[in-house]
Structure formats: structure tokens, C-alpha cells
Structure 1
Amino acid sequence: MDTSLPASQALLSIFTEPRRVFDAIPQRNMALLPVGLAVLGNVALWVWYYQMVDFAWLQERLIAQNVALVDDASRQAAQSVLSRSSLLALSVAGALVAVPALLAAMAAYFLIAGKVLGQGRSYRQWFGFVAWGTAPTLLLIPVMALQIALARSNQLAPEALNPLSLNQLLVHATETSPWHGLLNSLNLTTVWSVGLLAIGLRHWTGRSWPTAVAAALLPFAATYACWAVKIAAVGA
């Protein structure tokens, strides 16, 4: 951020004065701060989760979700693959790789969308735009940490960590439902992020609210629409 808006203050301002943060991004976007917090926070969260969870219960639960694993040999093979260390490694890798990769892909989209909307900014600026515009997802980290800290049992399912998901709030699809993953990935911070990105787009481009909202919503809508089509087509 510029000298008038320290990076630490930007973490608050993105929720209270988002236009001020978007104004500062072209000079010094400090994308490393929200990205670093997202990566490190998720790594710490999953390390904690796999240390506290009743792993035998979790492993059995994961195996039970796969109807193909009916004989003893296949179940034993699954148990060797679904070890605590392998699941933790996958979760940590997801935080280290998937978070930055997703932001990078979204920045590429907004680089193209910006050109269409007459805003020829650099990829670096759009990466900062996305990193700060999706800052509401950082709020999931303390929320999920509270779920672990306040859990009455160590038999806590991964999806139960996020009480803000569409599934936990409204639908309550079971883990055997093919829609379970999609519904658990949609949450209130997704909507909040779309709103912030729309505010930023309107501020940077001067376009109308409908145009800004549509451009901000498109990558999310396209992703979930493709996911829904896949589920409808193959049932998984």
C-alpha cells in the first residue's frame, strides 16, 4: 500500500473502505499479505485439524463414501492410501499451490475483462486487485479454527469446519450426495468477495453497477455451472 495506507490497515479498510484499498493497489499492491495469510492460515488450520481428529473414524467415513470399496482387499488398499500423512500432505499442498494458482487464474481473467472494459492495467495490478478483492475468504480461517477449538468431540468432519457454507446453512446434503462438495464450497464469503470485486471494478473502470457485477460474477458462475453440469452428467 502507499504511505497513507499501511498494509496492516488495508486488512481492515478492505472491509470498511474498499475503494481506498483499490486506489492504493496501482502504487504498491502488497498482494503478498493477503495471499500469505491465506496460505499460512490454511496450512496451520489443516495441521491442527489432522492432529485432533479421530483419524480412524475419519478414514472409515471416507472409505464408506466410496460404494466401490466393498471387499476387504480394496478397503485395506484404501486405508493405506488414505493415511493421516497423505491427507495432511494433500491439504497442505492445496494451500501452498491451489490458493496462489486460483488467484493467478482469476487475475488473468480480470486482465482480459479489464481490457474489454477499457481498463488496460498490468497483470501485477490485477493480481493485487484479486488478492484484496477476495479478502473475505480470510475470515473463514478464524471461523474454522473456532469450530475445531469448540468441538465437543474429535469426530469432526472436514465440511463441518465451515458453518458458512450453503450446505451447512440451508441444504444439509449428506456426504453420499453428489452435490455435497459443490454445496460445501459455496459460502457467504464467496458472495462477499463478488461484491468487493464488483465495487473495485466499478471504481477502476467507471462502468455501471450491472456491468461491474456481471464481470465480477462471471468466473464464479462459470466455475460452478461447469461443476453442476458435470455432476448432472456423471453423478459425481
Structure 2
Amino acid sequence: MSDNNNQTGDSDKDNNDENNNSPYQPSLTSYSTILSNIFTSPAEAMQQVQENYNVLFPLFTLMSATVVVFAYYYFAVDYQWYIDHMVEISAGELSKSEQEEARAVFSMMSQTTMASITAITASIGVAIVFVIQSVYFVIVSNVTNDGFQFKQWMSFTAWSSLPSLLSYLAIMVYIFSSSNGQIAFETLNPLSLNDLFFGFDASKGAGKMLASIDLTKFWSMYIMIIGYQKWTGKSISTSATVVLIPFFGIYGIWTLFL
């Protein structure tokens, strides 16, 4: 009886020692919690992203949303009107014969084919943009020696871009509310600066540039600034400079060609 008690005691001791020697592994924050915090508590969300630097969830979410929105648009739009409109806005750059050729090319593709090609291409474009942004941050990391690599920055850019889901939602509502399906692609986003404040011709010039910027883009940049500060320990001014350089660079160059 005594031997059994001793064996039991030794077994419990071994189990306790094993438990004590096991490293503590905190539970990972759920993706839904991080997604919620992106909108309500960005600083906390970007700290939670650092737990495992997940890329697939935000990337798949945004790519899937892109496919849904673009497919919905092309299935909802008056396709013949769309073809005429696309030829019309390019009329200044094309001769009469070229316009007819363009019309023929558009007409050769069915509405389903156009929806599929555009939706898939747009979703791939989302991933390409994230890759380019991540490469930029990797270059900055190599200069500042902050130790972050491509995967970390890919996660950073993808999670920071999730506010664009609100733009997608606004676009879906806008398409749904259309009575005749005659919706110009360039005016699709009701949250764009052009649609909200300026009302320029969105098919060219300043209108086209302003139509490419919406309110959620500023939200994403704010999240990036806060996140960069949290991740690297840099000052808020340095973080803002690093994050905003590409934005001002791209739109500054675009402005020169208006």
C-alpha cells in the first residue's frame, strides 16, 4: 500500500515537473476579434496581429469580397449600355474605326465572361498591391534594421486594408439601389472623394484621380501609422512619414500629369 502511494506520489511529481517545464503558450486571439478591433481599437488589433502574423485570413477575405463585388456589378449592369459607355469615354483617344473595333471586342464577350475575367483579375490585383506595399516596408526595414521580414509586412498591409470592406458594402448597396442598371464603373464607389465632395467627371483628369481615393483609404493609412508605431517603436511622426511616402508619391506624380 505504501509502495503504491509512493509510486502515485512520484507519478504526480513527474507530471507536475513536466507541466512546470512546459513553456506557457497563450491562446491566439480569434480572427473575428482582430477584425472587430480593426474598426474599434486599431492599436490593439495591430498588436494582436503580431501573435502569428496571419496573412491568409485578411487576404482571402479581401480577395473574396473583390470577386463578389465585381461579379455583382457586371451581372447587374445593363451590359449593352456598359459597352456603349466604355466606348464613349474612350472616344477622344480612338478614331471612329477603332471605336467600332472596341465595340466589337466588348460584344464578343458575354456578360458572364466579362464578369468572371474582371472579378478574378481585380482580386489578383489586390494581392499584387499588398505584395508591392510589403516590398516597400521590407526595404524600409533593411534601412532601419527593425528585424521585420516580408511575411510580417504582408500581414501588416492586409489587415490594415480591411476597412475597404466598408467601401465594398457601400458599392453593393449602390448597385442594388439602381433602378435601370446603367451604372458607370468609374462612379461605382459612393465613398470616393469625387462622389462625396467634388462631382467632377470621374472618367478623366482630376475626377478620375479623386474617384480612386475613398474615406476608407484614410482609415487604413491611420491604422498603418498606429501599427507601424506599435511594431517598431518609432515616433508617430516617423511612422506617419514612412506610411504616407508611397501615397503622396503616387498621387503627386499623378497630379503632375493632369
* Deviation larger for 2-11 or 82-91: 82-91
Q: Partner residue of 1:170?
A: 197
Q: Partner residue of 1:156?
A: 183
Residues 34 and 48 in structure 2, CA contact (< 8 A), matched pair in contact too: no
Residues 186 and 203 in structure 2, CA contact (< 8 A), matched pair in contact too: no
State the identity %. 28
Q: Partner residue of 1:48?
A: 72
Offset at 1:27? 3.1
Q: Partner residue of 1:39?
A: 63
Q: Tell me the distance in 2 between the aligned counterparts of 1:68 and 1:137.
A: 32
Q: Partner residue of 2:236?
A: 209
Report matched runs for 1:103-142 at 5 Å: 103-142=130-169
Q: Tell me the distance in 2 between the aligned counterparts of 1:180 and 1:81.
A: 27
Residues 117 and 205 in structure 1, CA contact (< 8 A), matched pair in contact too: no
Q: Tell me the distance in 1 between the aligned counterparts of 2:58 and 2:147.
A: 24
Matched, 1:186 2:213: yes
Q: Residues 25 and 176 (structure 1 numbering): CA distance in 2 closer, same or farther, change over 3 Å? A: closer
Q: Tell me the distance in 1 between the aligned counterparts of 2:148 and 2:187.
A: 40
- Provide TM-score, normalisation by structure 2: 0.81
Deviations 1:56-84 (A, max 9, x none): 1111111111224452x333211122244
Aligned pairs, number = 229
Residues 107 and 127 in structure 1, CA contact (< 8 A), matched pair in contact too: yes
Matched, 1:198 2:225: yes
Structure 2: which amino acid aligns with 1:104? V
- Structure 1 residues without counterparts, runs of 5 or longer: none
Please tell me whether Structure 1 or Structure 2 has the larger radius of gyration of its CA atoms.
2
Q: Partner residue of 2:29?
A: 5
RMSD of aligned C-alpha atoms?
A: 2.0
Q: Tell me the distance in 1 between the aligned counterparts of 2:202 and 2:194.
A: 11
Q: Partner residue of 1:224?
A: 251
Residues 65 and 176 in structure 1, CA contact (< 8 A), matched pair in contact too: yes
Offset at 1:116? 3.3
Structure 1: which amino acid aligns with 2:132? A
- Provide TM-score, normalisation by structure 1: 0.88
Structure 2: which amino acid aligns with 1:51? F
Q: Tell me the distance in 2 between the aligned counterparts of 1:221 and 1:202.
A: 19
Q: Partner residue of 1:18?
A: 42
1:146 to 165, 173, 182: 173
- Structure 2 residues without counterparts, runs of 5 or longer: 1-25
Offset at 1:86? 5.9
Secondary structure of the 2:205 match is coil
* Deviation larger for 84-93 or 208-217: 84-93
Q: Residues 68 and 108 (structure 1 numbering): CA distance in 2 closer, same or farther, change over 3 Å? A: closer
